[in-house]
Chain A
Amino acid sequence: NAGVMQNPRHLVRRRGQEARLRCSPMKGHSHVYWYRQLPEEGLKFMVYLQKENIIDESGMPKERFSAEFPKEGPSILRIQQVVRGDSAAYFCASSPFNRGTDTQYFGPGTRLTVL
């Protein structure tokens, strides 16, 4: 059973460009979470999605950031017009059921570097 997959693993962008991060949850999982981790800091919740539905986006910056989880295909975290402060590790996690009590399984992360 393949785990949570994220790609790319490393992404370099220049200021003003767009970054697209992809996450494929574990087979059978329909709930996806995105987290950001700055160097030497803790995990910060960004958004919680189910298929075709955003459940909680309270951790998402109001501008430039968006997320989706379509019926088919991976979840996408999109950052428009990136700035140096967006440089961080972005982790995706998935869980099988629609309960906030479920274990989350993490992908390997995407390291975004903004030049």
Chain B
Amino acid sequence: QKEVEQNSGPLSVPEGAIASLNCTYSDRVSQSFFWYRQYSGKSPELIMSIYSNGDKEDGRFTAQLNKASQYVSLLIRDSQPSDSATYLCAVGGTTSYDKVIFGPGTSLSVIP
């Protein structure tokens, strides 16, 4: 059974700090990795996707992937109260018959 785990929350950080969200996955052959943000009562929205080892930066967000350790993380720099949401890690397969597996999510609260 393929699994995706995320660090348990809720995570609280002060405004302006760096928020670090972690995710591990069980399937070694996974090829695609996604971070979604979900505000309360809303649908998930894609923040970033990453496919290769290393870092990928987009504005205040940096995704880090380490396939050898089966680990993917999301860093949010200069955290803002508007970043307060649940962050979902999702891991994709390699064939057309694979489905994307979502982690349970980590709730982030940015304190003004």
Contact = CB atoms under 8 A, between A and B. Distances in A.
B98 interface: yes
Nearest to A58: B99
A103 B73 CA distance: 17
Contacts, number: 64
Given A45-B99, A45-B101, A109 B43 contact: yes
B97 A101 contact: no
B88 A100 contact: no
Contacts of B31: 101
Given A45-B102, A103-B34, A98 B43 contact: no
Contact of B100 (A41, A91, A104, A109): A104
Contacts of A99: 94-96
Interface residues of B, number: 27
B92 A102 contact: yes
Given A56-B99, A101-B51, A107 B94 contact: no
A100 B43 contact: no
Contact of A100 (B44, B51, B93, B105): B93
B88 A43 contact: yes
Interface string A76-115: 0000000000000001000000111111111111000000
A68 B43 CA distance: 22
B105 A42 contact: yes
Interface of A: 33, 35, 41-43, 45, 48, 55-56, 91, 98-109
Listed from nearest, the 3 A-B pairs whose CB atoms lie closest are A100-B98, A100-B93, A101-B32
